[in-house]
Every structure is written in structure tokens, then in C-alpha cells.
Amino acid sequence: MTEQANLIYLDYAASTPVDPWVAEAMTALMTADGNYANPSSTHIAGRRSVEFIRHATGQLAALLNTDPGCLIWTSGATESDNLAILGAAHYRQVRGQHLITMRTEHKAVTDPFNTLQKQGFEVTWLDPETDGLLDIAKLAAALRDDTQLVSIMHINNETGVTQDIEQLGRLCHERGCLFHVDAAQSVGKLPIDLATLPVDLMSMTAHKVYGPKGIGALYIADRPGVHVDPLLFGGGQQRNLRPGTLPAQQIVGFGAAAAIAQSRMIDDRKHLGAMRDRLWSGIRDIPGISTNGAMECAFAGILNVSIEDVEGESLMLALEPLCVATGSACNSKSQEPSYVLRALGRSDELAQSAIRFSFGRPTRSQDIDVAIELYRNAISKLRGMAPERAA
Ligand SMILES: Cc1ncc(COP(=O)(O)O)c(C=O)c1O
């Protein structure tokens, strides 16, 4: 579209474009001359669809170094989080009803926990330190004999802060409870070795890593005691854990995206780091600017900054045609200050002025330079209305 040409898109943590190679692989399963058959059908065309799915499951499993049998296809990370949290809590409720999570989790995690609380489960909500990290001593103090599940995300979608899931998971296992990780922002971006990580359940999604929207997966470790009760009931697919006709073209898209991510991960990270550093060096001298979440603990694909004496909504408007997020994309329609940034101890005003820049494979240095200019101009303009604090 011609309109796209004028946009500077720095919102890759919200969604990424589909890689052309991924789109091509998907098309081959959609049209009349392709393999569009229902993979549940037992005829030859159905069996071919199954083969495509098997291949794609192998590609995602290879990225995560796990057994393909541990992966369940879902519609995205929201569904995976719901299935993991509601499913594991219900499956293990006879052993205990205490659960632990963090206040900085995505809504796809906090809402299932709120639902469980209403059903009579007890939930402990942990706060991060001001840098965004969870102090392991807080988790150790919160764990009890009846704790069944701990859910902590890998990369935070607003700040990029990355938790040490290996250390946290080890503690959970020592204390006999399951560990779920929302890895929607990290799969395909950070190395994840499920053969060695002490993780029981992991949620992921394709559209943050150049795959299509509407497909995700849940990893369920093949260990005693690790199981989820299903949320859906139907045709028996995926061992009844998540029935429904498998969307072969979406699955093939996720598989292809996973294979590309695996081969490009090191280069991708170098590129994202260069883009983030270029942006931060271009704006860090503006008076009253600060990062949300410590940059040293954050994934390079996300830079979240707040600014004093500037109102968030006006800033967002003044930044057009820059496509960025205020807080989480899923929350950006809300005028409320981000609960994630509030949990880091930011004031309402600073949380409201937060802008999340996120970078992707297509981001070029020129995009960053335009973003720097737009951001600096917007701050000067808005502070021009309050001249005592001009940038
Ligand atoms: C950390 C995190 N969890 C869950 C989700 C939801 O993912 P999906 O859009 O695949 O449902 C997102 C997407 O914004 C996310 O960033």
C-alpha cells in the first residue's frame, strides 16, 4: 500500500511482517492446486497435510531443542497461556491450590490467574525490583508446600527485561512445583534449550517472529506430574488436549518462521542491538528522559523510555507517522498508565509518557534517524507549551 511508504514502523514487539518465504510456504497449503485437505482425513490428501504438519512441528522442535511430541498447536500465546495456567491449576488442584506469578505479566497471564482466584485458588503476586527483574529471594519466600504452579515470563513485552528462567525454574523444581514461561517475545530471538531448561510449560506465538497471526504453541514437558486439563472439547485432535481441525497452513508458517529464526538468530540480535543503541544515543541527552527497565537486563529489540513533563497521549499524536506503542500494544487503547511500569515504581505521569520502540529485521538506520528527529521535535513542541523545560 502506498500509505505504508510514509510510515516508520517501530512496533515489532506488537507484530512482525510475515517473511516472504513463510508466506510462500503457506500459500502452497491454501489454494486448489495445493495441499488444502483436512489433516484429520484419512485419505491420501489428508495424509499429505499431516506430513506438512509433521515437518513444521519438527522445525519448531529443532529451534527449541525438544521432542516434537511435546508441542501442542494453539491459536497464539494468549490461548497457550490460558491452557497452561488454567489447565495445570485444575489438573493439580487436588494436591494444592496455591499459585505464584508476577504483576508485570501480560494480560494473557494475569487474567487467567484472576479467574482462578475467583474460583477459590490463592495467588501470590510478586513485584519486580526497579530494574524489572524478579529477586529470586522473593520467589523462594513465596513458595509453599501447596504451591502447584509458578508463571514468570521470559522477555517482558513492554520493557524487554529478560528474566533468568533457568535460575527461577531450578528453584521451582527444587520445591516441587511446575514452572510455566510465557515466551511470546523470546522464542526465535533468544537461544532456548528445552532439553536442559527446568521449564514444564512454555507459551509461544508465530506473529512476533515473522510468522502468521493466529498460530501459537504450548510446550508441555514429558515429565511425571506435568499435564494440563483441556479448555476445549471436540474431535479428539492433539491427544484431546486441544481439539479442532489443525490449521496446516498456519502451522507450516510457524515452522518455516522458526527455521529462519534459528539460522538468523545471531545476526538478528546484532542488528537489533545496533538499532537500539543508535536510537538511545540519539535521545539520551534530552533532559528528563529515562529508560523503563534497566537496559543491561533487557532484550535489545525493545527500548522503553519515559520523559518528564510531557503528556503521553499528546506525545503519541505528535510522533505520527511513527508507529510505536505506549505501554503494551494490547493495552494501548486504554488511557490508564501501564500497570507494568507502575509495578516498576514509575509514577502515573512517567508511566503515561512511556513510549515503547521495538525493532525488527527490516529496521534500517535511516528509520532510526527519522525516529530520533520526530521524537526530539515532538518533545520540543510539547515543551514549547511549557517553555521552562524545553529539550
Ligand atoms: C508476552 C506476551 N504474551 C502473550 C501475548 C499474546 O500473544 P498472541 O497475540 O499470540 O495471543 C503477547 C502479545 O502481545 C505477548 O507479548
> Could you read off the pLDDT tens digit of each residue along the chain, which spans 391 residues?
445 668 999 999 999 999 999 999 999 999 998 899 999 999 999 999 999 999 999 999 999 999 999 999 999 999 999 999 999 999 999 999 999 999 999 999 999 999 999 999 999 999 999 999 999 999 999 999 999 999 999 999 999 999 999 999 999 999 999 999 999 999 999 999 999 999 999 999 999 999 999 999 999 999 999 999 999 999 999 999 999 999 999 999 999 999 999 999 999 999 999 999 999 999 999 999 999 999 999 999 999 999 999 988 889 889 999 999 985 444 555 578 999 999 999 999 999 999 999 999 999 999 999 999 999 999 999 998 654 444 5
State the distance from the centre of ligand 1 to the C-alpha of 187, rounded, in angstroms: 12
Active site residue 330: yes
- According to the model, what pLDDT value does residue 385 have? 62
Give the separation between CA 363 and CA 360, rounded to whole angstroms: 5
Residue 81 CA to ligand 1 centre (angstroms): 9
First to last CA, the chain: 35
Q: State if pTM tops 0.85.
A: yes
Kindly give the number of the ligand 1 atom that is closest to the alpha carbon of 79: 11
- Cα of 77 vs centre of ligand 1, distance in Å, is 5
DSSP 126-189: EPP-TTSPPPHHHHHHH--TTEEEEE--SB-TTT-BB--HHHHHHHHHHTT-EEEEE-TTTBTT
Question: Which of 106, 213, 299 most suits a substitution to test ligand 1, by most atoms within 8 Å of the C-beta?
Answer: 106
The answer to whether the beta carbons of residues 195 and 65 sit under 8 Å apart is yes
Q: How far is the CA of 282 from the centre of ligand 1 (A)?
A: 29
CA distance 338 to 335: 9
Question: How many CB atoms sit inside 10 A of residue 157's CB?
Answer: 29
Structure-block grid coordinates of residue 365 = 538506520
Query: 352 is written with which cell numbers?
Result: 503515561
Q: List the residue whose alpha carbon is closest to atom 11 of ligand 1.
A: 78
**In one letter, which amino acid is 171?**
L
pLDDT (0 to 100) of residue 4:
65
Percentages (nearest 5) of helix, strand, coil residues in the chain: 40, 15, 40
Tell me which residues have their CB closer than 6 angstroms to ligand 1.
76-78, 81, 106, 108, 153, 157, 182, 184-185, 205, 216, 329-330
Distance CA 33, CA 80 (A): 32
Nearest ligand 1 atom to the CA of 207 is 10
Q: Which of 70, 297, 323, 330 is catalytic?
A: 330
Q: Which atom of ligand 1 lies closest to the CA of 155?
A: 1
